[in-house]
Amino acid sequence: MSLPSRRPSPDTDPAAAPHRPGRRLPSRGARRAAALSLAAVTLLGAAPPPEAPRALGIGDRLFPTLGNPGYDVTAYHVDLDYSGHNDRPLNAVTEITARATKALDHVNLDFARGRVHSVEIDGRPARHQQDGEDLVITPAEPIAPGHKLRIVVRHTSDPRGRSDAGWIRTADGLAMANQADAAHRVFPCNDHPSDKAFFTFRITAPQDMTAVANGEPSGQADRGARRVWTYRTAHPMATELAQVSLGRSTVLRSRGPHGLPVRSVVPTAHRAELAPWAAKTPGHLAWMERHVGRFPFETYGVLLADARTGYELETQTLSLFEKDLFTTGRIPDWYIESVMVHELAHQWFGDSVSPHRWSDVWLNEAHATWYEALYAQEKAGRQASLDTRMQRAYQQSDGWRADGGAPAAPKAASPGKKISIFRPSIYDGGALALYALRQRIGAAAFDRLERTWVTRHRDGVAGTADFVRLASEIAGQDLTGFFRGWLYDAKTPPMPGHPEWQSKQPE
């Protein structure tokens, strides 16, 4: 790998150089003139040498090196060539369209678990080097603010890495689990939810495999024994929500509210037992629309993968689930459906409205937990009472805060476990804050807030401060102090309407 050259620093006082035999030193007057000349140039604003290429970040408190400054991505085109073997690297080409927001000597992308063959910027070869999980690119010429960039990276994408996901290997292929910061383990990107973009996936795979990705299909062509599938998103998407499924799968199609295309993906070998669960999705969509308004994307469905991840994931338009959730026979149906609703609710809260920083992730998880709990109560009655669940959460809330931080101030991930930011404090602890808010402002204002939030920030990025402002606006009162206690304090405030509720002291 060729390294970008470094410009030498401007020479300092020549008298500081070591004397070498045979070298004649300048006179004192000449040395003084040289120093004065250098000082004059400095005062006139001579530019310092550019910084050496290094890993950067946008200052996210939980993931300091994630994301990159200086540009805004508008579109990704990710071309993947899958051999049919999930233990071999895929050949890939990632094309990124972006707009520079400042002058750039280097362009950083987040990327790991792949070999970079070449990089081009605006059709010209660019030097590149790896620094940690950053791919640092040096363009042929500096980039001016406002310039529209076209970056093409030819690389491999390796599914054999361990821990914290990216690619996950299924029984018959591959799928993606990119939350919180693992998309860059699949393709080069600006891997932070604050920089959303449109996506196109073009996937080449053996004809006996099925490829499905975010968005809707926009083309399919056979090339001998291989097939090329193309998918495009109609709405911008955060990198952590990207999804590509490769395997011996069946795509089940139906219609949801307003004729919404519903497509779900199941392993063909397990179609008979999984299809009835996928068939519940249109009903879940209708239920969510009654609570928060129209579904925000062009399609939806569930991906029931034959893999063990330990979690389910709200990848945009195609939520990821473990097959075993539906096939153990030991979990009540109402509970399984409530988990399906949890991931569906994320399509509004977290996908359409993405967090400004990862500390705002409670906005995703608290809302998804809230609608999961409401759905469970409707399905199971007293067995899944919302009030009972919230009272139990209140009892544990101080312990959760001590262990993982308050809902909007989560502690950093444990070493080597980046998804450990997803602690109870942002799930039921965050839902508890929403419950307190509804107690404070009333059910009608709360419902209006929910609908306004997902409408006002649709396809955008918003944070905790935005939610506090909107809640105050709709309630007609300043709720800053209220939210400070519920979202940031070490101790849980008293619950409005339930002064008898008590939180256990942390052990």
Q: How far is CA 372 from CA 367, 378, 389, 400, 443, in A?
A: 8, 10, 11, 20, 17
CB atoms within 10 A of CB 91: 17
Q: Residue 161: which pLDDT band, with cuts at 50, 70 and 90?
A: confident
Could you please report the per-residue DSSP string of 141-176? SPBPTTPEEEEEEEEEE-TT--SS-EEEEETTEEEE
| pLDDT, mean of residues 165-171 | 95
CA-closest candidate to residue 202, choices 192, 189, 187: 187
**CB distance 285 to 260 below 8 Å:** yes
pLDDT tens track for 3-19: 222 222 333 232 233 33
Q: Residue 417: which pLDDT band, with cuts at 50, 70 and 90?
A: confident
pLDDT at residue 485 is higher than 60: yes
User: Going by C-beta distance under 8 Å and a sequence separation of 6 or more, which residues neighbour residue 259?
Assistant: none
Q: Residue 164: which pLDDT band, with cuts at 50, 70 and 90?
A: confident
Provide the mean pLDDT of the chain: 90
User: Going by C-beta distance under 8 Å and a sequence separation of 6 or more, which residues neighbour residue 37?
Assistant: none
pLDDT at residue 175 is higher than 90: yes
pLDDT at residue 43 is higher than 70: no
Determine the pLDDT at residue 52.
64
| pLDDT, mean of residues 294-307 | 98
**CB distance 404 to 423 below 8 Å:** yes
Range of weakest confidence among 7-11, 68-72, 417-421, 449-453: 7-11
pLDDT tens track for 192-222: 999 999 999 999 999 999 999 999 999 999 9
Indicate left, alpha or beta for 442 from its phi (over 0: left) and psi (-120 to 50: alpha).
left
Could you please report the per-residue DSSP string of 170-191? ETTEEEEE-TTTTGGGTS-B--
pLDDT at residue 25 is higher than 70: no
CB atoms within 10 A of CB 83: 14
Determine the pLDDT at residue 1.
22
Structure pTM? Answer: 0.88
Query: Could you tell me the maximum CA-CA distance found in the chain, to the nearest angstrom?
Result: 96
Determine the pLDDT at residue 162.
75
Single-letter amino acid, residue 189: C
Percent residues over pLDDT 70 in the chain = 89
> Quick check: helix, strand or coil at residue 309?
coil
**CB distance 465 to 480 below 8 Å:** no
pLDDT tens track for 215-267: 999 999 999 999 999 999 999 999 999 999 999 999 999 999 999 999 999 99
